[in-house]
Amino acid sequence: MVVRDALPHEMDAAGALRVAAYQADRLLDANPSYAGALRALGTDGAGEVLVAVDGDRLLGTVMLETWHAGSEVAKGPQEAEIRALAVAPEARGRGVGTALVRAVVERAVLRGVRALLLSSQPAMAGAQRIYLAEGFTRRPELDWAPVPGLTLLGFGRDL
């Protein structure tokens, strides 16, 4: 398995993988309209999309989004966000999620980021285990609700 930047021709597949992974875990049930945004993340050039691949097979993806005026949880230029960590259901349990998180942390360090933040649905227990194992801590002050009935949990790591 290799983690690298997504190639332009892989962006549609990365978006489809995100949606499929979220649907497999019923993570879009509370906000089905988010599927379109999830599919499009990174296609506008905002953020850096990383992929985990095995040969030509896409196993997972994650995005590093540095702070900008529309950031969801980052509040300034020293902060960045991890967005849309997703692993294909058939690739889970192989260390793909951990490899992606490590790669995105490394990328953030190279970009001079001081704090890496993220939001996670309460049901994302597997992802949260990875985040905690990789040095992230729960940050309740970052909790927020994008739609009624769905509260996202905040996590962060100082770099």
Instruction: Specify the pLDDT at position 46.
Output: 86
Helix (H) or strand (E) holding 119: strand 115-120
In order along its 159 residues, the chain shows pLDDT tens digits of 999 999 999 999 999 999 999 999 999 998 999 999 999 999 998 899 999 999 999 999 999 999 999 899 999 999 999 999 999 999 999 999 999 999 999 999 999 999 999 999 999 999 999 999 999 999 999 999 999 989 999 999 999
What the block records as the tokens of 3 is: 């983690």
What the block records as the tokens of 32 is: 């089905």
Q: Name the region of 55 (left: φ>0; alpha: ψ -120 to 50; beta: rest).
A: left
The residue among 36, 44, 57, 56 whose CA lies nearest residue 11 is 44
Instruction: Specify the pLDDT at position 45.
Output: 86
Break the chain into its structural domains and give their ranges: 2-158
Report d(CA 96, CA 62) in Å as an integer. Answer: 11
What CATH number was assigned to the domain covering residues 2-158? Answer: 3.40.630.30
**Residues in the chain, total:** 159
Q: One-letter amino acid identity for 124?
A: M
